[in-house]
Structure 1
């Protein structure tokens, strides 16, 4: 709800309207609320916004049974911080302590913490003085803790928003306060641990959430929330930071039983000389092994990088190639087909995977393909093999294939190659063959045409000479000479045709 940063009656009123709009048509199975503001917000608006919905709360620092009066189906876990346990630990570690300086804010959580500290302080009347300034800025707090006397400790409760309204994260607060303090800083919240806190009986927000989650599961499994008792027992474990203990010369001070110390140095252990030498040798061996493995891993990574780069280059070339690039398994079934197959056959590359070149062909090309693949299995490379495939639109296409086997220990495990669309070339060869045949036919006709014409012409001339008058015979002889000239020209054409044919065959 972000109330540590934004806290105003207007914000609360607008949040009521936001929840009404957001969840007005939704039936919730349960609600988990965390911290004071959320808890008291639901106390006031639950029946209006979420009537009948079970509520499980956690993170509530100050709780009274009267808070649940008239509120059905609600339970939870109270964040019972062990302030007394933390103060007792501080007194044990710092025997000369006479004053506790309390850092706290005026948020709802801070107000609840103040009530808890005030109750605890009553048990130390005459022995300890609790100083609890109200509504200070962080700079004022830092100035105070920087001037505390050695018989004082700091108890950091809650500081999420200072007197200026500035919002602070937990780790920022402990770093600022501990860094400025001349005396140890204790607390009851685990979130401060590891960033400058000396220690204390610390309560875990994670444990609070886990406990609330278990209660919620019981409610979702059919139990009434009201039948589950509110958990009010003190929680927390003793944690201390060795770095901060040593900072204030307390590293050898007695700690409460069962305490956990973080950042402590490893204990000193006496080791037999023989064992030490053997251990050193083993460690040296391990170091060498690690260095060798590191070198091996580095070489492998470089190789893998080079392989990836090579594969990317190959794929880039294959994707842009006008020729069809392919790879098959040992059975001749495609494992890779480049995009050029789409232009050549109309099929998408994926439609070829798991099939071979003749998956849509007749028996003639099937036998050619089997012969082609038999050669590959024998380790032979194939060059210039022309094979017919059927395009997706039904038209015949011709491919010229160059391929080589992929061998592993002398055994063929696949094949790879390139196929070029030679349909136009095959068509041109067909047209050329037909043209040659026509030329051959024409030349043959030229060869016999002279004899077939001259023989009847000689008969005509002989008849004219015997039976026609001299005047008519002369006319016929004149026309016969013209025809003979034409035949002679045809003979010369035959000779030229022979020369053309030889030229075409040569070139």
Structure 2
């Protein structure tokens, strides 16, 4: 809040009769000019500025603007000469007095051309706009305190500039309702003057924003007695807004204090105003238009004109021309806490306490003491923090040293030249060397030269964004033994972004390496044994298939022929029927023998090749199951690229895959694609069945899938099973062809 000394009470001025003022101005105009006295004013050094005020001297709004113009000119343009004229248009009818004023000015300022004219209020501007060419031709005009909503009647915009009078009616109503939350009615009061009509028009346009909360009424053009009668009928929860009430319907002019007493019904209602001169006269406050701001803005525009800056017709409105201003006494009267006022509010009539009187000394001493105390506290805190940080650093170093020295993993640091700068106890024990000896050596004394040549550029390429590097290498100990270590390194960068050193954490994985190698050998032996078993099994199947086909098949065929001949020589119908039954059984047995022989070893695989065997099996197996299928071949025939073992393995996988489709997939279509490439043979079988989930693919109970993988893995191939539930399954096989067979 800004504290302002109490405003001086202003006395009302009684209105002289209009016809007396008119005759007085006519007589002044008729008097002969005084050349000597007049010319002295206009011939002094410095520019001449004529200030033309719409109202009379003693009007608080006019006086505040005139006083501010005078102070700004005295402070910044002391050589300028101000001549101030008051038109008294509030207490007189402008239509009656303007002709007399024109005659007076024509006589008084004949041959005395001012550098610029500053007008205050709408009436002064209207007077000059209609008579400038006759009284002050080509003299620039700077207007102030004109209504911001009016359309300026400027026919010739050259040489006219000014600042408009801004009133913030919306925010004034908002703050009034906020400070009086129980209010149910807002009344705007105005007279019938032309200026008041502009202001009340703005007030009326604001009504719809608040009609949902309160009721609005307007009292316009009433006499004082009529206004008292209307106000007396209003409820206590009423807020009165003084929009522009200065003169009642009967022509009586009221001072600001008289207006507040009248509108407030002798203090019954809170009164809010739009003008700063009313604050301190009994109104609560509001967002008021500042006469001081108007005067300062007009003076600075006049400076531009005097400096010769080009100007156009312009009416500038500025937010700083209105300020939130309140009366402390009225706030106390209506029980309004100052904490509810908007930020930056100016409060007048605030009592001056002992603290307020000596506040600058109080805050100066408080600031000095506070600064000293803060300085002492900061210094004390810094000392304590440094001691605490030193103790924590020492403890941290001891913990770090204990952790590093006691851990079983290896910790090594080395510089950019790969010279070892630190090694913990685990490193020394692993290398079977003392710490002093290790620190006198370089990394290349423990790592093979070929591996170190690969490691140097990898380490040198580290950046602050990618500081990590890792690997697995063999190192030599002092006795020449080689052991495996797995390590992770980090490049440590300095403030300038360059590498200061490298740190490596490693562990001995020699035992794990040996176990892994033994496990790999075991797996390889298992695969060789499985491949040998599969080969023996296929050979045995082939032998049994041939024996069944050659011996059992031929015997059954001969038996069938004998039964046929015997049936032709049968003596009776019963014997013939029994012979026919025996022939049917024999033929079914021959079919079973052929089927078993085919399943043990398809003859097409040996006689016609892998591709024909696949096509025959698909036609026979899928066709019997009633599934539609398509068989595609890409590249050359795979038979010429695969040996017997690989062809058999691929065919068995093909058989198992089709069996799974028929038994489990619930499919309606199957796509078989065989691809022969330069270095491999590919097989892909896809169906549109129910699919397979991840658990089924990984399940140890899926012996069919596991058996297929092992058959292909025995020949260094790869088998994958993909699919999702409800979207079918795809089995993909890629079987490499040995180099010697590819060349063949």
Larger radius of gyration: 2
Per the normalisation by structure 2, the TM-score is 0.34
